[in-house]
Amino acid sequence: AQSVSQHNHHVILSEAASLELGCNYSYGGTVNLFWYVQYPGQHLQLLLKYFSGDPLVKGIKGFEAEFIKSKFSFNLRKPSVQWSDTAEYFCAVRGSGTYKYIFGTGTRLKVLA
């Protein structure tokens, strides 16, 4: 079955702490991988994406993610979080060449000032 699993539902960090949010997927075939962020009261925004090439991708606002094919993972990282990173983060998978996203359940991050 096709699925995306985000293990951490709620994460609370202090400012300047390092962040890693886990994402594992189950999908037969080549995939495109995405991380989206939803700030309070705002729409989903693309943080970063992976299609091919260097498995370490860098996105906006200092975020990066690493695709580890053997582990079916695409974890999101940021070395030092800020209060403004408080948001909900969604990992998503899409079969290469298809249009349908499969989303994870989201991780709600709260950064304490």
Interface with other proteins (CB under 8 A): 4, 9, 34, 36, 41-46, 49, 51, 90, 97-106
Measured in whole angstroms, the distance separating CA 1 from the mean position of its chain's CA atoms is 20
> Regarding beta strands 107-112 and 10-14, do their DSSP bridges make them parallel or antiparallel, or are they unpaired?
parallel
Of 66 and 101, CB closest to other proteins? 101
* Shortest spacing between CB 21 and other proteins, in angstroms: 14
Distance CA 108, CA 86 (A): 8
* Shortest spacing between CB 94 and other proteins, in angstroms: 9
Phi, psi dihedrals of residue 70, rounded to the nearest 5°:
-65, -25
Of 17 and 103, CB closest to other proteins? 103
Helix, strand, coil shares, percent, the chain, to 5: 10, 55, 40
* Shortest spacing between CB 70 and other proteins, in angstroms: 24
Of 80 and 105, CB closest to other proteins? 105
